[in-house]
Amino acid sequence: MYKGREGQWAFYLHRLSGLAILAYFLLHVISISLFVFGEKAYMAVHGGYDFILFRLGLIAVAAGVMYHAMNGLRIIVMDLTGKGVAYQRQLWYSVLLITVVWTVYVAYMVLPRVAAGV
Q: How many domains are there within the chain?
A: 1
State the pLDDT at residue 113.
Answer: 87
Position 2 scores a pLDDT of: 52
Cα 97-101-105 angle, rounded to 5 deg: 165
Annotated binding residues for heme, written as ranges, equal 68
Q: Please state, for a pLDDT cut of 90, what percent of the chain lies above it.
A: 53
SS3 labels along the chain? CCCCCHHHHHHHHHHHHHHHHHHHHHHHHHHHHHHHHCHHHHHHHHHHHHCHHHHHHHHHHHHHHHHHHHHHHHHHHHHHCCCCHHHHHHHHHHHHHHHHHHHHHHHHHHHHHHHHCC
Residue 111 lies in a domain: yes
Q: Is residue 1 part of a domain?
A: no
User: Confidence class of residue 7 from pLDDT cuts 50, 70 and 90?
Assistant: confident
Residue scoring higher pLDDT (73 or 6): 73
Taking 80 as the threshold, does the pLDDT of residue 34 lie above it?
yes
Q: Kindly report the CATH number assigned to the domain that includes residue 40.
A: 1.20.1300
What is the per-residue pLDDT across 54-101, written as a single tens digit (0 to 9) for each? 888 999 999 999 999 999 999 999 888 878 788 888 999 999 999 999
Tell me whether residue 18 is in a domain.
yes
Which amino acids are annotated as binding site, given as ranges? 68
pLDDT over 70 (residue 118): no
- Residue 44: is its pLDDT beyond 70? yes
Task: Please tell me the distance from the alpha carbon of residue 95 to that of residue 63, in angstroms, as a whole number.
Answer: 11
Note the pLDDT tens digit of each residue in 46-56.
Answer: 888 888 888 88
Q: From CA 105, how far away is CA 101, in angstroms rounded?
A: 6
Question: How many CB atoms within 10 Å of residue 15?
Answer: 11
99: domain range?
Answer: 6-116
Asked, for residue 108, whether it belongs to a domain, the answer is yes
